[in-house]
Amino acid sequence: TSRTQQKADSFAARWGIAQAYSQVDEMLARPDIDAVYIATPHNHHFPDGLRVLQAGKHVLIEKPFALNRREGMALKAEAAKQRKLAMEAMWCDYAPKYDVIRQLLDDGVLGDLHTLLADHGEFFTPDHRIFNADLAGGQ
């Protein structure tokens, strides 16, 4: 879903997605949708996740799963009540760069590795939402 139908349609056309929605309830009402992935700003993870579970769908919630223990336990309880999966998503585990690294390892391009240490990090400009306290960001 997107905030406007025009943005939703544009995104869907770019990526070959059959259906696009600007209204979450319309999407959640579809019986052929089994699961929803939530990648909204952090402060929306709990209400969005709860809404998805209450609609009877499985939910993958981008990290952080919740902002605090109370929210996390409420999502866990609702998932159990609905008999649905609620899980933290780890988008970085499926980023294309890891496919490249795996291929390099499989092809032996990097040689005979015995130890590999790596850190995942990203650069964000000071105005990025990750630093916006109103969106549950921090410094």
Strand 58-62: give its sheet, edge to edge: 35-38, 58-62, 86-89
Mapped onto helix, strand or coil, the DSSP state of residue 125 is coil
Give yes or no for a contact between 24 and 57, defined as CB atoms under 8 angstroms apart.
Answer: no
Give yes or no for a contact between 129 and 41, defined as CB atoms under 8 angstroms apart.
Answer: yes
90 C-beta neighbours (distance < 10 Å), count: 11
Structure tokens belonging to residue 38: 């939530």
Active site residue 63: yes
Catalytic residue among 7, 57, 63, 84: 63
Going by C-alpha positions, the residue among 38, 12, 8 that lies closest to residue 21 is 8
Instruction: Give catalytic residues, as residue numbers.
Output: 63
